[in-house]
Structure 1
Amino acid sequence: MNSVTSRRSFLSAAGAISAAAMLPLSGRSATATAPLPKPAWGGYDDAIVIDSLGTPGIYGSEDLAPLTSTAIDDVRKSGISAVNLTVGEVGSYSQNYNETIKNIAYWNAEIATHADALVLVRNFRDIVEAKHSKRLGIIYGFQDSTSLGEDIDRVDMFGQLGVRIYQLTYNKRNLVGDGCLEPANAGLSVFGRKLVEKLNERKALVDLSHAGQRTTLDAAAASKAPIAITHTGCAAIAPFPRNKTDEELKAVADKGGYVGIYLMPFLRSKGQPMAVDLIAHIEHAIDVCGEDHVGIGSDGVISPVAVTPEFKKKFADEIEDRRKRGISAPGEDPNVYTFIPDLNCANRFERVAELLAARKHPDARIAKILGGNFARLLNDVWGT
């Protein structure tokens, strides 16, 4: 897909959003709340804002604990229209299937409980409705293919349960290919090629975020549909294994795909990344991929993180646990947090828009980065 086609698809997606704004609400309407201050960047209320990897909730909450009123309030404050939410477990063939089913059941219950704030996204029309009704569209996604086991036909079952985005590998090797921490860098397997073909047939999005370099390039070449790297950084700025080389970024963009920049420790070679580092990675990705193929996948929770002694201990314990399990990536550090301190607010996407505007990025480009590009990609892959 060339850039002209990408722009045409984006305009079609944007037009659908604009048209939806003139339609009567269907389903449940958003609960009335006090009006929020007018965004500093004037286009924010009208933009479709998508976090291509994130989650509602409070950092440090118990696993599968009910969402709190604070978490739901932060969802409303965020102005985010949709989020790619990970329901699949990672790194274990023996446990991930059952845990993934449990996660999907949990989120189904939370969406039903908070139907005035959340809605499950199965197709592009659901994103339009989420934007129109001022709810957060929840897109179920995987960050590993281990929940499929050796059965590619499980894609059909998980598709019926609402899973629409499939990351091929996490950091380690699986049956599909090598993750970014595998030194052999062996690339996409025969099984992996069959999985990509199956996902193309089912109009599901292929995600390459944690894939190794050869797996990324192999999958980009093998896929007949546009693909995504939903959350990453640029290796040209910070050469961590979790960041993508310009070759990988360009291969995905040339396919008509999408690259989401995360708010993670890997944005800076040493020390705590700040907003300036995020903007630098976004601007580098635009230079490499073009403005039609870049967005934001925060890889974090919507609610701001309270940096308390309890948080610091829990965070350090999580880093240690990831190291013991062999899934921790270079750059993970108990003293470098997985959020950006000067963007530690529910409406961080609005703040990013302000920063981009201050650097003289045009309004149309800012709208694309906030979510228009990911919306275009989903419309291209899923269809309407």
Structure 2
Amino acid sequence: MGLNKRYDGYQAYGYLDEKDFKRFKMAKELERVEEYLVSLQPEEEERVERLARDNIFISLHDHPTRLPESLDEVFEYTRVGRDHCAYKGLSKSYYDAVFDNMLDGTTTITSANGWKWEDILYDLGMRLCDLAHQDFLIHCKKVEDIHKAYREGKIAWVASVEGAAPIENELDRIDILYGFGVRMMGITYSESNNLGSGIKEDKDGGLTAFGKKAVRRLNKVGMAIDCSHTGYKTTLDVIHESEHPIFLTHVGARALWDSKRLSPDEVLKACAQRGGVIGIEAAPHTTLTKNHLKHSIDSYMEHFEYIVDLVGIDHVAFGPDALYGDHVGIHNLYASQLSTKKTQGSLEFEKVEYVKGLENPTEASKNILRWLVKKNYRDSDITKVLGGNILSVLDKVWRS
């Protein structure tokens, strides 16, 4: 059901009147910049349509919400606490399920530094309230919800928290987040926390004693683990400690581009050897290569092919990490919370205003599939990387 979604036109917080909270002029969900689609022959277009219709397509990591049109208003918009889901944009995508990481480090409602427990709950609660007033996105709590969304022409919305700093030293906060419907958590977000080291750090001390307890608790409650922003040694420790396979939801191959934001072969192999899945990242200026110094769908898919060759088709998927609005601008504004400069690497590259072919979740979903068809990947392999591989791991990790 990647096509013909059953969307009724609901807009974020449409249950409230204009006077109930401050409104902002929002960025366009679609056509903010000129759309780019991978060119195909007519018979390839037909194949794309069939594959989009017949397969479950899952984004392993995105932020499918809208930014204000003017970034000058972003800080005020965030303090209001109502992140706007891009329902219309998502309805035009091929996705049947999206792991939504919400505001993560930009959740600066009560603190300019972000990542506070109260802010995470505020962000999550507001989003859940909005979701409760519409029927296009299904709050996904189990694998069957993804199949249900696919059957009904809807999208399964998976709540994710990108880093575990907000739990501080309280294991029970994992249970609380699970109770609120969170189904994935990152171990660290670039900076170290009580669980272990982040990729921003010069030294990686590995998984802490508390971190080992947290991994075991995540396993027990049935919450998926993500190590995309986690230090390499800490990630290897998590892979060893976890009863279940883990995810690297949005990474690339460091062998292709020397940046801490991307994973070395050792980590990629270890994740796959324990049955995990690796999602390919597309946030601006991440998955570059020496062949493609300008970030685009081409550099992105070079990382995909490298990792497929390295670990096998059964362990790769897509986590574009896109949003609706000026993604480059938001990274610049929140550079300290998002740790972009400390993890980007020192190689020279051509800066872009947006990532061509991956401007937002809708365009990314279309071009990933179009690229795979253009390169004549087999239907069975496309089925795996669009969602089959993810579902296989979730069947093991989610306990209900």
Q: TM-score range by the shorter chain?
A: 0.7 to 0.9
Q: What is aligned with 1:113?
A: 133
Q: What is aligned with 2:335?
A: 322
Aligned letter for 1:109?
C
Shift of the 276–330 alpha-carbon distance from structure 1 to 2, 3 Å rule, reads same
**1:131 and 2:167 aligned:** no
Q: What is aligned with 1:51?
A: 59
Shift of the 180–325 alpha-carbon distance from structure 1 to 2, 3 Å rule, reads closer
Q: Which of the numbers 139, 161, 186 marks the counterpart of 1:142?
A: 161
Q: Which residues in structure 2 correspond to 1:339-354 (within 5 Å)?
A: 340-344=355-359, 346-354=362-370
Q: What is aligned with 1:104?
A: 124
Residue 315 of structure 1 deviates from its aligned partner by: 4.2
Residue 54 of structure 1 deviates from its aligned partner by: 0.7
Report % sequence identity: 24
Residue 330 of structure 1 deviates from its aligned partner by: 3.5
1:244 and 1:344 mapped to 2: Cα distance? 23
Aligned letter for 1:268?
L
Q: What is aligned with 1:277?
A: 299
Shift of the 232–182 alpha-carbon distance from structure 1 to 2, 3 Å rule, reads same
Residue 52 of structure 1 deviates from its aligned partner by: 0.6
Residues 178 and 188 in structure 1, CA contact (< 8 A), matched pair in contact too? yes
Q: Which residues in structure 2 correspond to 1:5-154 (within 5 Å)?
A: 30-31=6-7, 40-60=48-68, 62-63=77-78, 64-65=81-82, 67=84, 71-87=86-102, 89-90=104-105, 96-115=116-135, 117-154=136-173
Deviation readout 1:25-61 (Å, 9 max, x if unpaired): xxxx93469xxx9673531111111111113222446
2:363 and 2:214 mapped to 1: Cα distance? 37
Counterpart secondary structure, 1:295: strand
Q: What is aligned with 1:356?
A: 372
Residues 171 and 327 in structure 1, CA contact (< 8 A), matched pair in contact too? no
Residue 251 of structure 1 deviates from its aligned partner by: 0.5
Shift of the 221–134 alpha-carbon distance from structure 1 to 2, 3 Å rule, reads same
TM-score by length of 2: 0.78
Aligned letter for 2:52?
Y
Residue 125 of structure 1 deviates from its aligned partner by: 1.0
Residues 280 and 317 in structure 2, CA contact (< 8 A), matched pair in contact too? yes
Q: Which residues in structure 2 correspond to 1:178-217 (within 5 Å)?
A: 178-217=197-236
2:130 and 2:353 mapped to 1: Cα distance? 25
Aligned-CA RMSD value:
2.8
Residues 88 and 141 in structure 1, CA contact (< 8 A), matched pair in contact too? no
Aligned letter for 1:273?
H
Q: Which residues in structure 2 correspond to 1:234-245 (within 5 Å)?
A: 234-245=253-264
Residue 322 of structure 1 deviates from its aligned partner by: 1.4
Residues 178 and 211 in structure 1, CA contact (< 8 A), matched pair in contact too? yes
Q: What is aligned with 1:5?
A: none
Residue segments in structure 1 that go unaligned for 5+ positions in a row: 1-16, 18-28, 306-310
Counterpart secondary structure, 1:137: strand
Aligned letter for 1:30?
R
2:170 and 2:87 mapped to 1: Cα distance? 36
Shift of the 249–88 alpha-carbon distance from structure 1 to 2, 3 Å rule, reads same
Counterpart secondary structure, 1:169: coil
Aligned letter for 1:72?
Y
Counterpart secondary structure, 2:385: helix
Q: Which residues in structure 2 correspond to 1:361-372 (within 5 Å)?
A: 361-372=377-388
Counterpart secondary structure, 1:341: coil
1:60 and 1:321 mapped to 2: Cα distance? 15
Residue 189 of structure 1 deviates from its aligned partner by: 0.7
1:200 and 1:383 mapped to 2: Cα distance? 9
1:137 and 1:340 mapped to 2: Cα distance? 26
Deviation readout 1:297-335 (Å, 9 max, x if unpaired): 01112x4x4xxxxx5xx9447425414885644438997
Deviation readout 1:61-91 (Å, 9 max, x if unpaired): 63344647xx322111102111111147449
TM-score by length of 1: 0.81
1:319 and 1:367 mapped to 2: Cα distance? 36
2:320 and 2:52 mapped to 1: Cα distance? 18
1:100 and 1:374 mapped to 2: Cα distance? 25
Counterpart secondary structure, 1:52: strand
Q: Which residues in structure 2 correspond to 1:254-273 (within 5 Å)?
A: 254-264=273-283, 265-268=285-288, 271-273=293-295
2:353 and 2:93 mapped to 1: Cα distance? 18
1:55 and 1:317 mapped to 2: Cα distance? 12
Residues 262 and 298 in structure 1, CA contact (< 8 A), matched pair in contact too? yes
1:317 and 1:334 mapped to 2: Cα distance? 19
1:55 and 1:45 mapped to 2: Cα distance? 23
Aligned letter for 2:263?
K
Residues 196 and 234 in structure 2, CA contact (< 8 A), matched pair in contact too? yes
Q: What is aligned with 1:291?
A: 313
2:213 and 2:308 mapped to 1: Cα distance? 31
1:274 and 1:246 mapped to 2: Cα distance? 22
Aligned residues: 342
Deviates more, 1:362-371 or 1:240-249: 362-371
